[in-house]
Amino acid sequence: MHRSLVRLLVLGMASGAGLLLAQGVQQRGPVIIPKKTPAQPAPATPPPAAPPQQAVQKPQFNFSVQVPEVQIPVTVETSNGQFVPNLTIHQFQLFEDGVEQKLSKVTVTNDAPMTVVMLVEFRNTWMPFLYNILQASYVFTSQLQPQDWVALVTYDLKPTVVVDFTHNKQAIYAGLNSLTFANFSEADLFDSLADTIDRMNAIKGHKTLVLIGTGLNTFSHMNFDQLRKKLEATRNITIYSVSMGWSLEEWLDENGYSGAAEMDLLQADNEMRYIASITGGRYYQPRFEGAYPDVFRNIASAVRSQYTLYYEPTDKKLDGTDRKIKIDLVAPDGKRLILVNQKGKKLKYTLNYRKTYTARHIVQ
């Protein structure tokens, strides 16, 4: 009987502990949890059979390089600056490094929108003369159309952006009117031209730079040979240079100044001529101040009216080398084309285009 009583007390205590746990009361004594029979592991799956040995296939690579099409803008003008229209692909002949190329097409534009930077020498030397030339440049501004982008930059000791690219010709007028006092007498042409080219290279499409200055370079860090290499490497930039040298000499003589040495101006003119020709533009040397308006009208017409020659070079190498270009107009018999006016008189004409271009490099 004693053993039965003890057994009942134990059972009662266990039942009470279970009730306390069920009611959320914290258990203070130990709880005995019966052991579970460990589960038997599943039988291991046998590994799949090894696939039959096959010959190792080497990857196949097809490597090809497409030679890019070359585009050469060309202006054809008579000696008095008139654009020569109605030329066809059969009348153009193009050589690259002395080898004649087959033209794929020739296009012509007569009213192309312009993206132009006017880079103007503005320093406190010969201010009355420079001011008159600035007034004459209004003629170029007057030729602008609503779709044109034009910027105005001046240079003395350094280049200064007077008006950034705008469609608003009134903004260019206002910028020109603001040029009343120059701070320096230096003319750092080479550095200023190089800086302007760098800024224009970031703009897509074809661009035009109208350089108006004496051509004198007084304080640039860059020498002409360095500038020449930069000009040769430029793409899609055509420079029209307007030299003040000749008209400046006339003005100095008329006003009793002993200005720049004649040899300095002669060298400056040669450099201005080279800057234009190497980029496919045109060099102007007005003899007197009254000739400048016609020069600016001619530039505006030349920028808008031009031919573009397209071809794939026979030299397929993408090696980054400089290629020399020669273009001429030919008659059906292969001789140089002769142009005549309505009266049958022969007309002299010139072709303005970039004489070299740099082939693309394979990593580009």
Of residues 152 and 251, the one with the higher pLDDT is 152
Of residues 113 and 12, the one with the higher pLDDT is 113
3-state secondary structure of 112: coil
Query: Does position 357 have pLDDT exceeding 80, yes or no?
Result: yes
What was the pLDDT predicted at 60?
A: 42
What was the pLDDT predicted at 158?
A: 92
Query: Does position 211 have pLDDT exceeding 70, yes or no?
Result: yes
What was the pLDDT predicted at 12?
A: 46
CATH of the structural domain 115-304, one choice from 3.30.200.20, 3.30.160.150, 3.30.360.10, 3.40.50.410: 3.40.50.410
Task: Work out the pLDDT band at 43, boundaries 50, 70, 90.
Answer: low
Q: What is the pTM of this model?
A: 0.72
Q: Which range has the worst mean pLDDT, 43-52, 122-131, 165-174, 283-292?
A: 43-52
Average pLDDT for 49-73: 55
Of residues 183 and 66, the one with the higher pLDDT is 183
Picking from 169, 139, 150, the residue whose alpha carbon sits closest to that of residue 297 is 139
CA gap 198, 361 in Å, rounded: 20
What was the pLDDT predicted at 16?
A: 42
What was the pLDDT predicted at 41?
A: 54
CA gap 295, 147 in Å, rounded: 22
CA angle 60, 63, 69 (to 5 degrees): 160
Residue 317 near residue 359, CB atoms below 8 Å: yes
Q: Which range has the worst mean pLDDT, 24-28, 218-222, 231-235, 331-335?
A: 24-28
What was the pLDDT predicted at 313?
A: 94
Average pLDDT for 181-189: 90
Query: Does position 127 have pLDDT exceeding 90, yes or no?
Result: no
Task: Work out the pLDDT band at 303, boundaries 50, 70, 90.
Answer: confident
What was the pLDDT predicted at 358?
A: 82
Query: Does position 58 have pLDDT exceeding 90, yes or no?
Result: no
Can you say whether residue 313 is alpha, beta or left, with left for phi > 0 and alpha for psi between -120 and 50 degrees? beta
What was the pLDDT predicted at 1?
A: 47
Domain with CATH 3.40.50.410 in the chain: 115-304
CA gap 133, 144 in Å, rounded: 18
Contacts 24+ apart (CB under 8 A), 195-199: 195/159, 196/117, 196/119, 196/153, 196/159, 197/230, 197/231, 197/234, 197/237, 199/117
Which 8-state DSSP code applies to residue 13?
Answer: H
Can you say whether residue 104 is alpha, beta or left, with left for phi > 0 and alpha for psi between -120 and 50 degrees? alpha
Q: Average pLDDT of the chain?
A: 82
What was the pLDDT predicted at 14?
A: 43
Task: Work out the pLDDT band at 42, boundaries 50, 70, 90.
Answer: low
DSSP assignment string, 249-289? HHHHHHTT---S-HHHHHHHHHHHHHHHHHTT--EE--SSG
Of residues 47 and 171, the one with the higher pLDDT is 171
What was the pLDDT predicted at 20?
A: 34
